[in-house]
Structure 1
């Protein structure tokens, strides 16, 4: 057994999810025990700066370094706090804070709209909160910077969680979709294994290429922007989807928005606020003007965009619809969103990962705790059929604290 702290702040930038986890086994026999989990909100000024950077605001190199340090300090504080009342952890797995993500061959974000590089241009993904500083501040070896190794192998660098989902959630007799609803939505498809896992094997049962995964599009990112816009920044989320539930979706708008190229793109694929961020939201508001929608109507329509982007991606890219969908992430608490998904996916049952024994709020942090433990043990952490990488690779950089150096 290894005690590991998993840390992540997602594209919603609402805080740092910290999970103190006991990890037992490797892959086919993997078991995790969540000892403690807590979300640590960012200080308001830091969150505002991160969101500004994610929206394209420029930084000097000095400001960039200061932001990187500030995020690392918040992550280190979260790690020390989560273990304060428990036996200490031996390892930290920190995903960090994504501030920029460019999938391979994507030239949409270049200032001129053109590039001298070919369409095979390698992807790029930047997570702040450097592991070297976290290791020094906590005194705990820290694995960080998980995405570049997959990108170097030709992959998207995302999503990275499906391999852990397969180890912890796959079922013998039921196919599953594990749908994360963070700022951006992503799915893991797990076919029925046909038999229980074999603890004598190190591979992930015999699922092989049956595991699929990709980013489905916006989940909470546009909804949170809309709430901030319509509330005059007094609210950051639509708790439970209560505001959206009072509106009526405009189907014509949803169909218009679903014509965006990303939704028709076949996996492997990933995205972020670079596409579904402030600029996209502003265009949504302009598109909505002729329909004279109320704020509740706009929220309901954006919710329907999230719902139908998920449902249609299943219908288009899965070999068959799943037997069950398990939701996780902040959006799993959105009762209205969950209800719309259930309505559109009927008769597929929509539940949460908590109902399958894995916390909806800390599943992603748990996954990076597991990936960190695998990195130290030399176990590859990506799935090439999910990310598009040429081969399985070790994910993450190992940062040792100063007193462990000899």
Structure 2
């Protein structure tokens, strides 16, 4: 089945589009990437999305207009990728997250027994608009079913990771470095119930703080630090990194998820205030923020992994950051670090591919897409709402 996956992540840097051909279901799952591209948001729309992510209040009317504007951009992206390639039969659209609030902790529940403390996550870009604009069945709003079952609604890619990237003998970690970092830990698939031992969670900031810092330092002329070249000229301040790692999120055991609500402009401003006492150069500042990403990943592995992975497969935009990759390898000398590209899965479009597969599982196979041990949901759920074109 030919499926389009659509994804825009925490960085809001564009819509990743993947057209794939999918066969099989689980261990026999095979994905062939037919075409992949990233479509930039119009500048005004991106600015509006970032403002909403930052807490800007909107009327209901303005919110619905933004919802449809995003959906139309996603639909255009889906149409564009088919112009010079095969025609798709289905679309899976993650949408654009503008708000993510994980379930409140068990302690908070005990203190407020009269309240319901399930999570809440908002992805704009409604599937009905995409379905009718493209003429293709569209699966969207993937997080809602997991959240309704008491889960975090994130991360949702670990089950896909497990069936595409498991190894018969090696214990692997798949580390995504998008705006927010997340990990999937995959045991060897050579025993009967290996899927129950797959785990995963959000590790903390990936690129989001780095990108924001570069944009501020350059007054918006640069969006990110290419290959980490700027940060590589600096020296990390480990005192600051250790201080920042005391944040409650890093200490919290999985299941856990996060977003720009925690690791966004306000958090970066707090870090900047801390840094004023240290007399850092601009390169030192970027190196220190890079080190927070590296240290948060290592902290997660050391504290929450059943065992250290033998191999780490990097994906997402941060996997192209050579400085981040070198720092990870320097700290994890006994673990081989490479990218998902090197095992046949394009790291730039892996998230979009994942939502194509989740849509395929929902629409074509009726296979639950979440892993309860990852999200904390009470049961496996069919993920996503199906929208048929008129």
The TM-score range, normalised by the shorter chain, is over 0.9
- What is residue 185 of structure 2 aligned with on the other side? 189
d(CA) in 2 for partners of 1:117, 1:51: 35
Deviation of 1:87 (Å): 2.4
- What is residue 215 of structure 2 aligned with on the other side? 228
- What is residue 87 of structure 2 aligned with on the other side? 88
Deviation of 1:84 (Å): 1.1
- What is residue 307 of structure 1 aligned with on the other side? 294
Is 1:395 matched with 2:346? no
Q: TM-score, normalised by structure 2?
A: 0.97
- What is residue 331 of structure 1 aligned with on the other side? 318
Aligned length: 385
CA 1:283–1:92: 2 relative to 1, 3 Å: same
Deviation of 1:65 (Å): 1.0
Deviation of 1:106 (Å): 6.3
d(CA) in 2 for partners of 1:77, 1:294: 43
d(CA) in 1 for partners of 2:366, 2:117: 28
d(CA) in 2 for partners of 1:120, 1:311: 34
Q: What are structure 1's unaligned runs of at least 5 residues? A: 108-114, 196-204
Is 1:243 matched with 2:230? yes
Q: Match of 1:148, SS?
A: helix
Q: TM-score, normalised by structure 1?
A: 0.93
Asked if the contact 1:106–1:123 (Cα under 8 Å) also holds between the matched residues in 2, the reply is no
Asked if the contact 2:162–2:195 (Cα under 8 Å) also holds between the matched residues in 1, the reply is no
Give the alignment of 1:285-324 within 5 angstroms.
Answer: 285-324=272-311
- What is residue 351 of structure 2 aligned with on the other side? 364
Asked if the contact 2:95–2:125 (Cα under 8 Å) also holds between the matched residues in 1, the reply is yes
Kindly provide the CA deviation profile for residues 361-385 of structure 1, in whole angstroms up to 9, marking residues without a partner as x.
0011111000001101211000000
Deviation of 1:232 (Å): 1.1
Q: Where does structure 1 differ by over 4 angstroms across 4 or more consecutive aligned residues?
A: 115-120
d(CA) in 2 for partners of 1:58, 1:48: 14
Kindly provide the CA deviation profile for residues 285-340 of structure 1, in whole angstroms up to 9, marking residues without a partner as x.
00000001111111000000000100110010011100000000000000000100
CA 1:119–1:350: 2 relative to 1, 3 Å: farther
Deviation of 1:13 (Å): 0.5
Q: Match of 2:156, SS?
A: coil
Asked if the contact 1:3–1:21 (Cα under 8 Å) also holds between the matched residues in 2, the reply is yes
Q: Match of 1:132, SS?
A: helix
Asked if the contact 1:105–1:118 (Cα under 8 Å) also holds between the matched residues in 2, the reply is no
Deviation of 1:206 (Å): 3.0
Give the alignment of 1:128-207 within 5 angstroms.
Answer: 128-194=124-190, 206-207=193-194
Q: Match of 2:276, SS?
A: helix
- What is residue 103 of structure 2 aligned with on the other side? 104
Give the alignment of 1:337-376 within 5 angstroms.
Answer: 337-376=324-363
- RMSD between aligned alpha carbons? 1.4
d(CA) in 2 for partners of 1:278, 1:258: 17
